[in-house]
């Protein structure tokens, strides 16, 4: 019966090893979670510290006993944060809405309609996917300047209302709808546009929602183009606003107020994310890279 | 290596976690698998046969009960220390490794005193490949092989360490019909040559019957019957087992026992001894019918299919539980296809009666 | 009759495509051609829109511009440090994530947060954490002194310190995407392979090296390729940390250089900007091709 003793030992070491591996794994994961969350905590914390309290802490404190909302008031009054905010919302909504129309029409043409030159047109579209934004932005800047559209919404919006990638994504989705539906609708005398609106769009709603969310994230965070095209504060978006605040806002040193502004512009997307967590993550893994 | 399962039970938490409900996949199993035999675990899907296999392999831990390999209690041992070989339904061959590397893989894991030299490993790998006859495929990748060849590679990989017990999970279900026949013979041959205790899971009764030394019929986590295939077929313990084994399946009729006589509907089909008056299910194997002008069972004839060696007579009977009564008779018998009815007498050994409620077999002697 | 119908339906298809073609033509195809033209027009004056020659002068100017060389150096350092490091750490985290059950969802959600935050805004928080000011050494420096180190100004201090923060922040920003991709790649590996390996007594490490890694190698290479492309185009992370005047901070990137040439205090030179942008993409293209060649040799199936 020597064997049994041996087995008991194997069992025990296996158990201990599992526990050790578990502890190491969780510690490691928790460590990264802290790394991710800490900046958020710090920005919230700093945003509720009073100006004087913050500046008197030579050694920063990890908590505050006298939280204040004054910084938030400052953020909205001392700098036109509300204006940046409204601009961004307007920019995001308009860009996303126009883009959805443009890409839906194009995807419908590619997926459903038959016309001469379709394949070659699609090939050209696909190859456009490889063109990086940085290469075309120079001419776009000159174009918009020539059109006298600097510091206008059309100037901000127009260059980013098409996305070849989203056309591609939507086309793939449209193509999965069985042809028989289309023929059935044709027999009933449904026009193409009606078929698109009443059948294809409702069926492809999940993909459209994913695209919408991804585009909203992109718009909300866009920085480079708005920076090039606007130098009038009235047209700043939040990213440019925050940079402006940093450079000439509350006076360089009012960091708590700055953090309050940061919190305010970060919250909408985080809320959106928490609501649509699964959709966003699925959408991003299907083909979104940041930027 | 003898394998013994003692009061083996496995419960899974139910879908609704709050309710603390459990799904019992394996319920109080007790059986002993003799050394060097080929055992088929048989049952419809969801009966717990794969769970049983995973319990034996150690990939799952039982909720209660013990598992012994020979005299060793292996219940709490991790799978790698049990000395088993496992073949998966989809073979689980590593797609990025060649056949040779796939077979070598388990050997390369050995450590310490078990460690083998490169040439020893190759020798063993080639021996395993020879056994399953795939030596000429050693440098291919799994993606370039047919299903049957992949199956052989998977078996070779499981055998290369000379396991104490070989486990096969639905080994034939991914193969087409012709390959299935061929491969099951192959499994039988390999098992005979290696004499390794082998347990395989299947839902196909024909497969299990044809190659197993012993079959274990399961339903809803409970063992229904254990025995040699022919024994189980000839002596089913209950209606479920009787129905599960045999193609075409057994014919079941509503019947009753009255005053030592067995009735199907209103036809008195046989005398019977040792059974009290009650309503019963009567099961008659297709080969239990003999056409007989004066036979007691009268069925409405709907068709005759000649299948070479045998004739399949399809008929109906109002007490039958299924729309068609299927009987297999040898070509020496004649059935007049012009007539509307056909009469049968029954072979006593092919007729079983079961309790109406419990569906357990009622032992009685037909006379 | 049939011909007419055919023409009609053809017309209709193009009509649906029209908005997309219009926008893409004006803001993508034309600029793509134009940027090459710009890059060869010597002495282009954006006010008068005139130039006095065609040739490689713009390229030569850019390649001799110390700011460009600085940007080039910064970008390369950033790429070489962040791409392998972020991919490696993301792999470790994903492996950890896929080995646990409890709290898995929570961790996944937390790890994804940086993806949905405004790079500029959160960069400001990083700046505050790392910055040394007259009032305070900042939190990170406080921690450094706990461990007996000397406080450094990571934002306005020595080059290596600034590069460290930039790399750190870049990794922090790109991590969510990589973790997400790798976690789903890991989840797509058939469970049976692991069971088979376990039955054979394969050690965890060996299972990982010989089974998991080869199986997810296509995704790892995808991440490395996109990681290279992304890191070469770094810009807003640097702006977030060091402000818009990146040249003064010695922290400019190639993309930053392009924009500075185009607009701002040193702006107004679309020709130089174009030449720099084309140089950047020549580099990115070369590196991507090399990556693809390597991956073809190493990625299984």
pLDDT tens digits, residue range A183-231? 888 787 788 888 888 888 999 998 898 899 889 989 998 998 998 899 8
pLDDT at residue number C22: 94
Give chain B positions within 8 Å (CB) of C200. Answer: 80, 105-106, 109, 157, 161
CATH T-level assignment (fold) for domain A79-249: MetI-like fold (1.10.3720)
Long-range contacts of range A18-24, CB-CB < 8 Å, 24 or more positions apart? A21/C99, A21/C204, A22/C100
How many other C-beta atoms are found inside a 10 Å radius of the C-beta of residue B222? 16
How far, CA to CA in Å, does B204 sit from each of A36, B7, B55, C210? 54, 26, 21, 35
Distance between CA B311 and CA B334 in Å, rounded? 9
Cβ pairs B/C, distance under 8 A: 61
pLDDT, tens digit, for every residue of C52-109? 777 788 899 899 999 999 999 999 999 999 999 999 999 999 999 998 888 999 999 9
Q: What is the largest CA-CA distance in chain C?
A: 89
Contact C4, C11 (CB under 8 A): no
Distances from the Cα of B2 to the Cα of B28, B38, B57, B78, angstroms: 19, 11, 14, 19
CA pair distance A218, A198, nearest whole angstrom: 29
Cβ atoms of C91 and C212 within 8 Å: the answer is no
Calpha distance C29→C22 (Å, rounded): 10
C20 to A288: CB separation less than 8 angstroms, yes or no:
no
Q: What is the CATH number of domain B3-244?
A: 3.40.50.300
What single DSSP character describes residue B30? E
Q: Which residues of C have a CB under 8 Å from any CB of B? A: 190, 192-193, 195-203, 206, 210-211, 214-215, 300-301
- Distance from C-alpha of B250 to C-alpha of B264, rounded to nearest angstrom: 15
Instruction: Measure the CA–CA gap between A66 and A45, rounded to whole angstroms.
Output: 11
What residues of chain A, 253 to 282, have a C-beta less than 8 Å from chain C?
A: 253, 255, 258-259, 261-262, 265-266, 269-270, 272-274, 277, 280-281
Note down pLDDT in tens along chain C; length 301 residues.
Answer: 455 555 667 788 899 999 999 999 999 999 999 898 888 887 766 666 667 777 788 899 899 999 999 999 999 999 999 999 999 999 999 999 998 888 999 999 999 999 999 888 899 999 988 888 777 778 888 888 888 888 888 888 899 999 999 999 999 999 999 999 999 999 989 888 998 888 888 888 888 998 999 999 989 998 998 899 999 999 989 998 998 888 888 899 999 999 888 877 777 788 888 999 999 999 999 998 988 888 887 766 5
Interface ipTM > 0.85? yes
Q: What pLDDT does C74 receive? A: 95
Q: Which of B73, B78, B81 sits opposite A4 (nearest CB)?
A: B73
Residue at token pair 């004649």: B334
User: Where in chain B are the domains?
Assistant: 3-244, 251-366
CA B312 to chain centre: 25
Q: CB C264: neighbour CB atoms within 10 A? A: 15
Tens of pLDDT along chain A (291 residues) come to 344 446 677 778 878 888 898 999 999 999 999 999 999 999 999 999 888 888 787 777 888 888 888 889 888 888 888 999 999 999 999 999 999 999 999 999 999 888 888 899 999 998 888 888 888 998 899 899 889 998 999 999 999 999 898 999 899 999 998 888 888 887 877 888 888 888 889 999 988 988 998 899 899 989 989 988 998 888 999 888 888 888 876 665 788 888 999 999 899 999 999 998 888 888 888 765 433
Whether the CB-CB separation of B59 and B70 falls below 8 Å is answered with: no
Instruction: Report the side by side order of strands in the sheet with B3-13.
Output: B22-33, B3-13, B64-69, B72-73
Residue C97 burial (CB count, 10 A): 22
Do the Cβ atoms of C281 and A136 come within 8 Å?
no
Name the nearest CA neighbour of B29 among B59, B56, B65, B69: B65
Compute CA B59 distance to the chain's CA centroid, rounded to the nearest angstrom: 22
Delimit the CATH 1.10.3720.10 region(s) of chain C: 65-298
Radius of gyration for chain B, computed over Cα atoms and rounded to the nearest angstrom: 25
Are C169 and C126 in contact by the 8 Å Cβ rule? The answer is yes
- Whether the predicted pLDDT of B136 surpasses 70: yes
* Topology of the domain comprising C65-298: MetI-like fold (1.10.3720)
Cβ distance A4 to B76 less than 8 Å, yes or no, reads no
pLDDT band at B16 (very low <50, low <70, confident <90, very high): low
Domain boundary assignment for chain A: 2-70, 79-249
Residues of chain A neighbouring B73 (CB-CB closer than 8 A): 4, 7
Question: 């909203």: which residue's tokens?
Answer: A216
- SS3 percent helix, strand, coil of chain B, rounded to 5, is 30, 35, 35
Does the distance separating the beta carbons of A114 and C9 come in below 8 Å? yes
The answer, yes or no, to whether residue B36 has pLDDT greater than 70, is yes
**Using CA atoms, how far apart are residues A43 and A261, in angstroms rounded to an integer?**
10
Higher pLDDT, B258 or A14: B258
Note the pLDDT of residue C73: 95
pLDDT one-digit tens code per residue, B194-206: 899 999 999 888 8
**Cis ω for the linkage preceding B303 (within 30 of 0):** no
Contacts of B74 in chain A (CB under 8 A): 7
Share above pLDDT 90 across residues of chain C, in percent, rounded to a whole number: 45
Q: What is the pLDDT of residue A6?
A: 65
From the CB of residue B49, how many other CB atoms can be counted at a distance below 10 Å?
A: 28
Whether B109 and C210 lie within 8 Å, measured CB to CB: no
Mutate to test the interface with C, among B89, B98, B101, B106 (most CBs of C within 10 A): B106
Contact list, B101 vs chain C (CB under 8 Å): none
Find chain B residues with C-beta within 8 A of A3's C-beta.
71-72
A60 touches chain C (CB under 8 A): yes
- Residue to mutate among C196, C207, C208, C210, with most B CBs inside 10 A, is C196
Packing angle, helices B99-108 and B118-132, rounded to 10: 130
Higher-confidence position of B111 and A227: A227
pLDDT above 50 for B236: yes
C 169-208: CB under 8 A from A:
172-175, 177, 180-181, 184, 204
Which residues of chain A have a CB within 8 Å of the CB of C139?
42, 60
DSSP state of B249: P
- Bridge partners, residue B87, by sequence: B168
């Amino acid at each position: 019966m020597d064997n049994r003793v041996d087995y008991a030992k194997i069992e025990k070491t296996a158990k201990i090893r599992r526990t050790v591996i578990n502890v190491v794994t969780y510690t490691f994961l928790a460590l990264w979670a802290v790394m991710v969350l800490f900046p958020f905590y710090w920005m919230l914390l700093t945003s509720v510290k009073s100006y004087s309290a913050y500046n008197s802490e030579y050694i920063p404190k990890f908590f505050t006993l006298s939280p204040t909302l004054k910084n938030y008031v400052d953020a909205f009054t001392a700098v036109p944060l509300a204006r940046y905010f409204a601009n961004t919302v307007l920019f995001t909504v308009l860009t996303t809405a126009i883009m959805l129309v443009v890409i839906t029409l194009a995807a419908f043409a590619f997926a459903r309609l038959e016309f001469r030159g379709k394949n070659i047109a699609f090939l050209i579209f696909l190859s456009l996917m490889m063109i990086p934004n940085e290469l075309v932005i120079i001419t776009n800047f000159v174009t918009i300047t020539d059109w006298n559209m600097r510091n206008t919404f059309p100037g901000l919006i127009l260059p980013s209302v098409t996305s070849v990638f989203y056309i591609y994504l939507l086309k793939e989705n449209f193509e999965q709808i069985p042809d028989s539906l289309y023929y059935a609708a044709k027999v009933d005398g449904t026009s193409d546009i009606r078929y698109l609106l009443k059948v294809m769009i409702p069926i492809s709603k999940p993909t459209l929602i994913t695209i919408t969310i991804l585009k909203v994230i992109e718009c909300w965070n866009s920085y480079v183009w708005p920076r090039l095209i606007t130098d009038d504060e009235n047209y700043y978006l939040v990213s440019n606003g925050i940079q402006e605040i940093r450079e000439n806002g509350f006076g360089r040193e009012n960091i708590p107020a700055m953090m309050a502004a940061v919190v305010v512009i970060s919250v909408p997307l985080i809320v959106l994310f928490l609501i649509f967590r699964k959709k966003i993550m699925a959408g991003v893994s299907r083909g979104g890279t940041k930027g | 290596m003898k394998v013994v399962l003692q009061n083996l039970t496995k419960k899974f938490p139910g879908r609704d976690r709050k309710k603390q409900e459990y799904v019992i996949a394996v319920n109080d199993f007790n059986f002993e698998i003799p050394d060097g035999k080929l055992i088929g675990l048989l049952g419809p899907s969801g009966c717990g046969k794969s769970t049983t296999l995973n319990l034996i392999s150690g990939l799952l831990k039982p909720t209660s009960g013990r598992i012994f390999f020979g005299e060793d209690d292996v219940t709490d041992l991790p799978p790698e220390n049990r000395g088993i070989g496992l073949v998966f339904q989809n073979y689980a061959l590593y797609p990025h490794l060649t056949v040779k590397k796939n077979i070598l893989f388990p050997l390369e894991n050995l450590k310490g005193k078990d460690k083998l030299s490169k040439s020893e490993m190759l020798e063993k790998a080639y021996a395993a490949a020879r056994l399953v006859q795939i030596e000429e495929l050693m440098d291919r990748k799994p993606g370039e092989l047919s299903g049957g060849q992949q199956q052989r590679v998977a078996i070779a990989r499981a055998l290369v360490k000379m396991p104490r017990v070989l486990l096969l999970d639905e080994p034939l279900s991914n193969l087409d019909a012709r390959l299935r026949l061929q491969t099951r013979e192959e499994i039988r041959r390999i098992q005979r040559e290696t004499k390794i205790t082998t347990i395989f899971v299947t839902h196909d009764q024909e497969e299990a019957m044809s190659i197993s030394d012993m079959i274990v019929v399961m339903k809803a986590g409970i063992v229904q019957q254990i025995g040699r295939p022919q024994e189980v077929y000839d002596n089913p313990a209950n209606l479920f087992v009787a129905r599960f084994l045999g193609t075409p399946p057994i014919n079941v009729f509503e019947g009753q026992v009255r005053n030592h006589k067995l009735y199907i509907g209103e036809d008195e089909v046989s005398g019977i001894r040792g059974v009290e008056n009650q309503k019963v299910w009567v099961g008659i194997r297709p080969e239990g019918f003999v056409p007989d002008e004066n036979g007691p069972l009268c069925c409405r004839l709907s068709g005759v299919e000649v299948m070479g060696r045998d004739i399949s007579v399809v008929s109906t009977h109002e007490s039958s539980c299924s729309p068609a009564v299927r009987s297999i008779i040898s070509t020496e018998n004649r059935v007049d296809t012009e007539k509307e009815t056909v009469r049968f007498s029954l072979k006593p050994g092919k007729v079983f009666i079961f309790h109406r409620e419990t569906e357990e077999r009622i032992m009685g002697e037909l006379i | 009759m049939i011909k007419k119908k055919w023409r009609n339906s053809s017309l209709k298809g193009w009509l649906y495509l029209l908005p997309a073609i219009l926008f893409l033509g004006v803001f993508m195809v034309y600029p793509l051609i134009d940027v090459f033209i710009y890059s060869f027009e010597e002495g282009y004056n954006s006010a008068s829109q005139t130039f006095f020659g065609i040739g490689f002068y713009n390229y030569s100017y850019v390649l001799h511009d110390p700011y460009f060389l600085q940007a080039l150096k910064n970008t390369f350092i950033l790429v070489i440090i962040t791409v392998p490091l972020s991919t490696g750490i993301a792999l470790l985290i994903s492996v950890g994530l896929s080995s646990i059950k409890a709290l898995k969802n929570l961790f996944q959600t937390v790890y994804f947060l940086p993806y949905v935050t405004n790079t500029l805004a959160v960069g400001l928080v990083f700046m505050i954490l790392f910055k040394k000011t007259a009032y305070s050494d900042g939190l990170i420096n406080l921690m450094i002194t706990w461990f007996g180190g000397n406080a450094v100004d990571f934002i306005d201090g020595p080059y290596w310190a600034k590069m460290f923060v930039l790399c750190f922040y870049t990794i922090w920003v790109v991590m969510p995407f990589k973790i997400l991709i790798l976690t789903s790649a890991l989840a797509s590996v058939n469970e049976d392979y692991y069971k088979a390996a376990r039955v054979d007594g394969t050690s965890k490490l060996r299972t990982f090296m010989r089974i998991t890694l080869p199986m997810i190698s296509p995704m790892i290479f995808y991440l490395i390729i996109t990681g290279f492309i992304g890191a070469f185009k770094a810009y807003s992370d640097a702006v977030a940390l060091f402000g818009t005047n990146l040249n003064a901070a010695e922290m400019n990137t190639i993309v930053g250089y392009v924009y500075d040439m185009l607009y701002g205090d040193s702006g107004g030179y679309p020709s130089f900007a174009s030449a720099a942008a084309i140089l950047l993409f020549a580099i990115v293209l070369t590196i991507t091709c090399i990556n693809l060649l390597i991956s073809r040799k190493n990625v299984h199936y």
